[in-house]
Structure 1
Amino acid sequence: MTEPVKGPASYFPSIEKKYGQPIAHWTELIRSSPLTRHGELVTWLKTEHGLGHGHANALVAYTLAGPGD
């Protein structure tokens, strides 16, 4: 039996469905941003790309926590 997905990755299916882009698109966007602080990146995704707070927060947390996709 497989473990349910937990943490930021649990948002990924709904993020891809709602915004029509794969997670790799968002992580690349976050990595290419000149911003580096979690809160700044969340605000940027919300204001410039129309993401909701929870989705933006999950993407930033995931991207900043790991080396890659």
Structure 2
Amino acid sequence: MTAPVKGPASYFSSIEKKYGGPIAGWKDLIRPSPLTQHMELVTWLKAEHGLGHGHANTLVAHTLAEGDGN
């Protein structure tokens, strides 16, 4: 039996269903953005890509928590 997904990742399947594309694709949009502040990125995803606040917030928080990978 698989443990239920918790935290921000629990929203990933609904984000993919509602807005299309894999989560990796959304993160690929966020990472190179010249915007660096959490709420700037949330506002951008909402305005430019039509995401709801909670979904945008989840994507930004999860992506920023990963760091830049360097």
TM-score of the aligned structures, taking structure 1 as reference length: 0.91
Runs of 4 or more consecutive aligned structure 1 residues displaced over 3 Å after TM superposition: none
Partner Cα separation in structure 1 for residue 63 and residue 16 of structure 2: 15
Q: What are the ranges of 5 or more consecutive residues in structure 1 without an aligned counterpart?
A: none
Amino acid at match of 2:35: L
Amino acid at match of 1:7: G
Aligned to 1:34, what secondary structure does the other structure show? coil
TM-score of the aligned structures, taking structure 2 as reference length: 0.90
Q: What is the Cα-based RMSD across aligned positions, in Å?
A: 1.2
Query: Where do residues 26-45 of structure 1 align in structure 2 (5 Å cutoff)?
Result: 26-45=26-45
In the alignment of these two chains, the number of paired residues is: 68
Give me the identity figure in percent. 79
Q: List per-residue Cα deviations over 1:20-53 (Å, max 9, x = no partner).
A: 1100110000001100110000000000110000
